A and B are shown apart, each in its own frame.
Chain A
Amino acid sequence: MAAISVKHLKKYYRVHQKEPGLLGSLKSLVQRKYFNVEAANDVSFEIKEGELVGFIGPNGAGKTTTLKCLSGLLYPDAGEVQVLGFNPWDRKQTFLKQISLVMGQKNQLWWDLPPIETFNLNKEIYEVPDAQYKKTLDELVQLLEVEDVLKIQVRKLSLGQRMKCELIAALLHSPKVLFLDEPTIGLDVVMQKKIRDFIKEYNQKHQATIILTSHYMGDVEELCQRIMIIDKGQLVFDGQLSEIIQKYADHKLVSLILNQAVDPKVVAKIFPVKEFVYPKLVLMVKRDQIASTTARALEQLPVADLSIEEAAIEDIIRELFTGKDYA
């Protein structure tokens, strides 16, 4: 049985439009214009136990909304969601004791107290037995190297230290399913790497099912074999990361420096343009066409310099979103 199963999930937010200014405010008091933001629009997927899946997409794509539906915070407008055999929305205590949702931008730690106090409170709330609590806490503290900060007020901790403590607070009850929403946001590269390593180790050691959202490609590239890409509330890709790489691995980036301005529209018609900010023009070209395309470019464009590079996955995915197809 799948640990997580989502069928045709829809979640709309009802928001009202407000015109600017005082008059607008008054108007909206009398007559409100509502419209729906389709944050998740017919999303379906299944995740097996122990899988670590990357869930990526641009800002506002619907990642957080989907995770909130999976953890029972939001009531879906349509579709079926099952996590560990539960309907999340029922928020049964037995369900909640087996999951955790960590949001990089929202914290559960008590701001004016040391993190250890929040940990103790969670122990009581989740009814973790003493021995298990001690063992888990020791393990997490060691893995994340936060021995020194447990007794310092949360407000005095750095962002990275805080995130580590957030993770501990979320993992003390050893959840089987873990939703990580942008856990590395705002962290420096070193700290990102540490958190990443931790997630990987946690997944392997505990067979935890994990969905990780991020807009840092690095997170996903390093951790996940499977990725789901969401855009405008819809899944646009669900498969192996390697598939995407393969599909586009035979593409290369041809960078040209022009020494004379040309009309971007004309260029876009005859070349596979990835980006064009004069004087730099970048083309995404299939490997077997590199020779001919390059020749054509040299012939038809005022080229001053030329270089060829591998396409980064990040670029590939960004291209996916803009709906261009360079095949």
Chain B
Amino acid sequence: MKPLVSEIRRYLRLWRLLLRLSLSEMLMFRINGLLFGLAPIVWAATVLIFLGVIFSKVKTLGGWSLWETVFLLGVSETVFVVYWASFLINLRNFINEVRTGRFDQSLLKPINSRFLVSFRTLDFTLLGSFINSLAIFVVSLAKVSDQIHFSRLPGFLFLLAAAYAICYLFHFIFASLAFWVVNARPFLDWIFEIADFGHYPAGIYPPSLRMFFTFFIPILFFGYFPTAFLLGRLDNLYLGIAILLILALSIISRLVWRAGLQRYQSASS
């Protein structure tokens, strides 16, 4: 057994190299992707106008004020875009690779194949969306900053990290369905779309739905819980729930992955 530290360093080095390669690959032929499209700005404007209309009728949404809600949107979107650019794109590629048999190449490498599958590339074309959501985040942060206690920052960061872990593990399980069905892409995409429900104050949902979005399709972790925690609206209990959820999902995704590999049929050439 190699010492853990040198193993981690090896994987970090590999990741850096993979990112360098995918960046130069992109620069070779998709340079226009980097020119910030209008789409993210149009999207942001639409949502903000939508929120403006709602808040012209009501004072609070699920107990949250306008700027709290916008802040929630900023956090969720930023997390979401980064997630998309890093993990989701890789999981989608993975599904394709299983179908075409290209996954063979990842399996042949003397390196954790889940790592290779999950970290192969970064979608740099989402840079525009990222800047856009970051702007919403920063502007709204200024408006809610007096509600934020510094003591809550570590918990917030922890919940953000947990958000990635939970979402990644959860999606990974669905992506692994690729070993069973010819095209698992729709499953992954549906599950991903549902995440939108986590962009609004959870108070607007009935308790049963909140439970559902906490434990079964845990999308509330993906923006709502970290933000609520930072704003002092969430119990410490949820830190524990996050840990338990991560453990449970790791075990399940591991089992599914193993079973899937045994079923892997490659593809006839």
Q: Residues of A with Cβ closer than 8 Å to B?
A: 13-14, 64, 68, 71-75, 91, 93-97, 100-101, 103, 105-106, 108, 110, 112-113, 117, 120-121, 124-127, 153, 181
Among the 9-residue stretches B33-41, B65-73, B105-113, the one with 4 or more Cβ atoms under 8 Å from chain A is B105-113
Give the residue of B13, B25, B102, B104 whose beta carbon is less than 8 angstroms from that of A112: B25
Using known A-B contacts A125-B111, A153-B28, determine if residue A73 contacts B14 with beta carbons closer than 8 Å: no
Residues in A whose Cβ lies below 8 Å from that of B14: 124-125
Residues in B whose Cβ lies below 8 Å from that of A101: 104, 108
Among the 9-residue stretches B53-61, B129-137, B197-205, B259-267, the one with 4 or more Cβ atoms under 8 Å from chain A is B259-267
| Docked-complex contact B110 and A97, CB < 8 angstroms | yes
Residues 229-250 (chain B) with a chain A CB within 8 angstroms: none
A94 to B265, CA, bound (A): 24
A127 to B11, CA, bound (A): 11
Residues 78-137 (chain B) with a chain A CB within 8 angstroms: 101-102, 104-105, 107-111, 113
A305 to B108, CA, bound (A): 57
Residues in B whose Cβ lies below 8 Å from that of A75: 261-264
Residues in B whose Cβ lies below 8 Å from that of A95: 110
| Docked-complex contact B17 and A121, CB < 8 angstroms | yes
Give the residue of A14, A68, A112 whose beta carbon is less than 8 angstroms from that of B28: A112
Residues in B whose Cβ lies below 8 Å from that of A96: 108-110
| Docked-complex contact A125 and B266, CB < 8 angstroms | no
Residues 10-26 (chain B) with a chain A CB within 8 angstroms: 10, 13-14, 17-18, 21, 24-25
B14 nearest in chain A by CB position: A124
Instruction: Count chain B residues whose beta carbon lies closer than 8 angstroms to a beta carbon of A.
Output: 28
Residues in B whose Cβ lies below 8 Å from that of A126: 109-110
| Docked-complex contact A127 and B10, CB < 8 angstroms | yes
Give the residue of A97, A106, A117, A181 whose beta carbon is less than 8 angstroms from that of B21: A117
B150 within 8 A of A: no
B151 within 8 A of A: no
| Docked-complex contact A113 and B24, CB < 8 angstroms | yes
A117 to B22, CA, bound (A): 11
B112 to chain A, nearest CB (A): 9
B269 within 8 A of A: yes
Using known A-B contacts A112-B29, A113-B25, determine if residue A73 contacts B108 with beta carbons closer than 8 Å: yes
Residues in B whose Cβ lies below 8 Å from that of A117: 21, 24
B262 nearest in chain A by CB position: A75
Using known A-B contacts A71-B108, A72-B107, A96-B109, determine if residue A121 contacts B18 with beta carbons closer than 8 Å: yes
* 9 pairs, A vs B, C-beta closer than 8 Å: A73-B104, A75-B263, A91-B113, A97-B110, A100-B108, A106-B269, A113-B24, A121-B21, A127-B10
Query: Interface SS of chain A: helix, strand, loop or mixed?
Result: mixed
B182 nearest in chain A by CB position: A16
Residues in B whose Cβ lies below 8 Å from that of A73: 104, 107-108, 264, 266
Further 16 A-B residue pairs, CB within 8 A, beyond A13-B265, A68-B266, A117-B24: A14-B265, A72-B108, A73-B107, A73-B108, A74-B264, A75-B262, A91-B113, A96-B109, A101-B108, A113-B28, A120-B17, A124-B14, A125-B110, A125-B111, A126-B109, A181-B269
A211 to chain B, nearest CB (A): 15
B97 to chain A, nearest CB (A): 11
Residues in A whose Cβ lies below 8 Å from that of B17: 120-121, 124
A236 to chain B, nearest CB (A): 21
B24 nearest in chain A by CB position: A113
A110 to B108, CA, bound (A): 16
| Docked-complex contact B266 and A74, CB < 8 angstroms | yes
A180 to chain B, nearest CB (A): 13
Give the residue of B24, B104, B110, B261 whose beta carbon is less than 8 angstroms from that of A93: B110
A30 to chain B, nearest CB (A): 15
A14 to B206, CA, bound (A): 45
B183 to chain A, nearest CB (A): 13
A45 to B108, CA, bound (A): 23
Residues in B whose Cβ lies below 8 Å from that of A153: 28
| Docked-complex contact A64 and B109, CB < 8 angstroms | no
A106 to B106, CA, bound (A): 13
Residues in B whose Cβ lies below 8 Å from that of A181: 269
B125 to chain A, nearest CB (A): 14
| Docked-complex contact B111 and A93, CB < 8 angstroms | yes
A117 to B17, CA, bound (A): 10
| Docked-complex contact B21 and A113, CB < 8 angstroms | yes
Using known A-B contacts A121-B17, A124-B14, determine if residue A64 contacts B269 with beta carbons closer than 8 Å: yes
A97 to B102, CA, bound (A): 19
A126 to B108, CA, bound (A): 11
A289 to chain B, nearest CB (A): 43
| Docked-complex contact A106 and B24, CB < 8 angstroms | no
B126 to chain A, nearest CB (A): 19
A103 nearest in chain B by CB position: B269
A76 to B114, CA, bound (A): 21
| Docked-complex contact A110 and B21, CB < 8 angstroms | yes
A94 to B108, CA, bound (A): 12
Residues in A whose Cβ lies below 8 Å from that of B262: 75
A109 nearest in chain B by CB position: B105
B49 to chain A, nearest CB (A): 40
A95 nearest in chain B by CB position: B110
B269 to chain A, nearest CB (A): 4
A181 to B14, CA, bound (A): 28
Residues in B whose Cβ lies below 8 Å from that of A14: 265
Residues in B whose Cβ lies below 8 Å from that of A68: 104, 266
Using known A-B contacts A72-B107, A125-B14, A125-B109, determine if residue A110 contacts B266 with beta carbons closer than 8 Å: no
